[in-house]
Chains A and B, each alone.
Chain A
Amino acid sequence: MISRRDFLQASMAASAIVGASGFGNWARLAAQQTLSQDQLLEFDGIGNVTLMHITDIHAQLKPIWFREPEINLGVGAAKGNPPHVTGADFRRMYGIEDGSASHYALSYGDFTSLARGYGKMGGLDRVATVLSAIRSDRPDALLLDGGDTWQGSYTALKTDGQDMVNVMNALKVDAMTSHWEFTLGIDRVTEIVENELNFPFLGANIFDAVWDEPAYEPYKMFERGGVQIAVIGQAFPYMPIANPGWMFPDLSFGIRQDRMAEMVAEVRAKGAECVVLLSHNGFDVDKKLAADVPGIDVILTGHTHDALPEPVLVGKTHLIATGSHGKFVSRIDLDVRDGEVKEIKHKLIPIFSDVITPDAEIASLIDAERAPFDAALSEVIGKTDSLLYRRGNFNGTWDDLICDALLEEREADIALSPGFRWGASLLPGDDIRREDIFNATAMSYPAAYRSEMTGEMLHLIMEDVADNLFNPDPYYQQGGDMVRVGGMGYRIDINKPQGSRITEMTLLKTGELIDPAKSYVVSGWASVNEGTEGPAIWDVVESYISRKGTVSVTPNTSVKVDGV
């Protein structure tokens, strides 16, 4: 596999400059080096088939900051294996120089300094430039979108995903699969899929809940370079559990491994020489699926937002992880001959927004989509003294801020914020615009409830969510991070079974242990229960930030983690 060398070419020249420097001074040095668009795109194509993968864009049309996780623990067989390797360990594993462009794009550590040096990442107008460059080399390259595309921004929320549908049509996507798409509600999804999308919306594992019949096209066959390619779609398996099932009451999901094996057999029987799974399972689920369902050549993974500079090989199946929020595009070239894949070459292309020239046509389309909302988007609500980020297994400063807002604005003892993996970062000193608040909160069930819960109930909830993250069998994981908690500390042993992972739950304001029999006032958001009441979370956060003017988030030391 020569992908690593290709990917790192962009950063090697840089390393020579910064090699002997002290950690923490990268920004100034980084600014001196030259990353070029040509370097980022450099790729000696092979074979006769090219795939381009984007996933988990979460409606981010414009470049953003996005800090990769510091804590991303694997359990069971996943422990210590990619993507459950972070920071310096990740850089050593892939031979990435500290302070390099790849360090900034792919790992946490010295994030603020590097961000100032290398600039924001993503932007679908830059992605468009990369896609065009690949297509000029390979006109019939397939563009596949792994889903979580229509949710995550102010404009996607206000237009019910229309801005994203328009842009993805303009990017000429060839097929997509889904997760958060369904939180627009089944009627809107149907409207888009039937009338507006110029490409298939695939989901082999989406069934009618009453009749147990397939509800969407499971796969699409493409002929490219004289090769029959099957693209099978797999939507997020735990849709009605992790998100509000009442928004799409007649649909059933699930991993449905036997169904996947049937689909692979079916497309092979129809003459597919190359089988691609466009998946929103999450990386660990896909790893298990690849081991249990033979015959898939490439799995384009999604959901868990992992960015890996090399494919992970399971048997003969190559797993590709393309990150999130438009930070990366993966290019995969395949040499398919005599009915099988002979060779594969991959490059994870980082979208450095200051290096890649925006595509003029897509840039103007994006501006047109945003224009009606410009005033609302750009209004400055406050300022942050701290780095605000979300990603990580246990807490992030964005959610600490949201929990602080819930505790104060809703006068609660304890605050809960869901362990979503989407949400852009902000650097210390940045203004907090309304758009930034929505980038961390925009979704269709935002009510910030306030209710009483007993200590026993809180413990049950914590245990339940922890098992969805740390069950040693990936098929029992849902792919989110741990629920974020304000006002309460706890200890977690990730290797214990459900019911005994969480101990030492402590009410921070008194320092007392949580009493199972006592009731506490709890405020949270994103309940999947129909009819939840309360103000929208973005209004709660906006009110809090505007009252504070400048917000500071102190490091969260209230979660103790064992069994790492």
Chain B
Amino acid sequence: MSATAPVISAQNVWKLFGPSPESYLKSMPAGRSFDEIRADGYIAGVKDVSIEVGRGEMLVIMGLSGSGKSTLVRCFSRLHDITGGTIKVDGQDIMGLSERDLIELRRNKMGMVFQSFGLLPHRTVLDNVAFPLEMRGQDRHDRRERALEVIKLVGLEGREEYFPRELSGGQQQRVGIARSLAIEPDIWFLDEPFSALDPLIRREMQDEFLRLQEMLGKTIVFITHDFDEALRLADRIAIMRNGAVEQCDTPDQIVMNPATEYVAKFTEDIDKARVVHAKGLAKPVNGHALEGAPINGGATIHELARVLVNDNRILLPVANDKGVVTGVLERDTALNVLLGAE
């Protein structure tokens, strides 16, 4: 397997809810809309979705409630059996796995965090975190050591003996995160992990999450209904509606070039300058004569505001984090984004 092969690859995935979804899907005429399917007595939880997640990438699936985002992520982990299409994890078709193999896959490769935490109320923090290790039969001493390690990682040291109901919401979700990390998964699913928390704690947990991700570099599928959260965390965002993916792209592209009206509605009120990066706006060099010091491609337009206003060059060279010039930014375009004029 090459290094660039996707970790999760979904092809034309369908998940229908209803009396006999398989036979309905087979007989269904192509191009049927969500509402037409509903009129036939079925709910299209996931509707013809094809998407890939690369190694070490953070894909955020964004959508309002009922858009199918939670269903899609449950298809990836086969908590739901899909109705049509294929899902491959590390090149392996997960619908073809036996119960035993599926359990092995989850025990060794996948971790998941839930919106309402899903903690076992009768177990202490330590026992909750050690739970997946206990299930795969690791011995008591080993699992205790590993659990203590992850508890420390999420900053819950000293609370090992507490029961979930003795903790605040934020702390409970830290336990959920620690549990999902205990088996050192390659793939990390997070289903609206911060939605049940109040806004201040949510912000703090996002920072914490970014810190963890920087350290661990997992492949992540993150679900949220909060567009700001998606912009803040994502490498790529997939926006879902009625079970289908409306657009899947980098935050810069989604903000600058929304593919559909539905996506545009989300981006309308966003301060684009705070989202769009210089490299996202840059064009290929193509023989333009460049002069002067390059600007950092990884910075947002907002962060570059002072330079953009004060500089008087028409074209600004853009460099990557190694200092190599990769593109060229028209100062006017950037100023338009900054001033909110299209």
A and B: real partners?
A: no
A residues apposed to B, CB below 8 Å:
none
